[in-house]
């Protein structure tokens, strides 16, 4: 192992530690914010501390979801697993905090797929994707781009017009 590999490994470790510290800082900051906000809710609505924290957590769950999404996207995990995992996790948290009922959680997929199949504009999307793949694989897309490049050679902004 040479010196460059050792330096890169030590830098990777430092970055991981810094990201972990930043994540812990965000969690503590969120806990403090929920604590302060629950104090305001307690005085405003005259509810016990536990119920006030519960009410505030319902409001901050979407912010926590988007922060978790941003952090996990930059961590390097595959996007499909991040989106699927976060949707399941925050869907169950939404059920726990009574943001929605459990039956609504299971009705999302049929409702979304049903709406997508009924919309005639969205039905055409797979055909356009298939057409683009066929043009690219057959080489016709490159030929078309080259032809437009030759035709618009002397026009300013020819690349933008061609694409």
For the chain, what are the domain ranges? 3-102
Let me know how long the chain is: 163
- pLDDT of residue 7 exceeding 60, the answer is no
**41-89 residue pLDDT tens:** 777 777 777 777 777 777 778 888 888 898 888 888 889 898 988 888 8
Integer Cα distance of 159 and 163 in angstroms:
6
Residue 23: strand, helix, or coil:
helix
Where is 96: in which H helix or E strand? helix 79-96
Integer Cα distance of 12 and 7 in angstroms:
9
Residue among 136, 125, 54, 43 nearest 94 (CA): 54
**115-156 residue pLDDT tens:** 777 777 877 888 899 999 999 899 998 998 888 888 888 888
pTM over 0.75: no
């Amino acid at each position: 192992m040479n010196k460059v590999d050792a330096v890169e490994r030590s830098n990777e470790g430092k970055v991981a530690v810094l990201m972990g510290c930043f994540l812990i800082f965000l969690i503590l900051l969120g806990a403090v914010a929920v604590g302060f906000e629950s104090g305001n809710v307690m005085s405003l609505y005259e509810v016990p501390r536990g119920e006030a924290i519960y009410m505030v957590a319902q409001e901050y769950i979407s912010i926590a979801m988007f922060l978790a999404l941003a952090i996990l996207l930059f961590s390097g995990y595959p996007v499909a697993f991040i989106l699927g995992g976060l949707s399941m996790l925050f869907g169950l948290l939404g059920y726990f905090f009574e943001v929605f009922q459990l039956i609504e959680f299971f009705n999302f997929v049929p409702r979304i797929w049903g709406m997508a199949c009924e919309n005639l504009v969205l039905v055409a999307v797979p055909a356009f994707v298939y057409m683009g793949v066929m043009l690219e694989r057959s080489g016709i897309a490159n030929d078309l781009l080259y032809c437009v490049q030759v035709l618009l050679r002397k026009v300013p902004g020819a690349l933008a017009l061609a694409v």
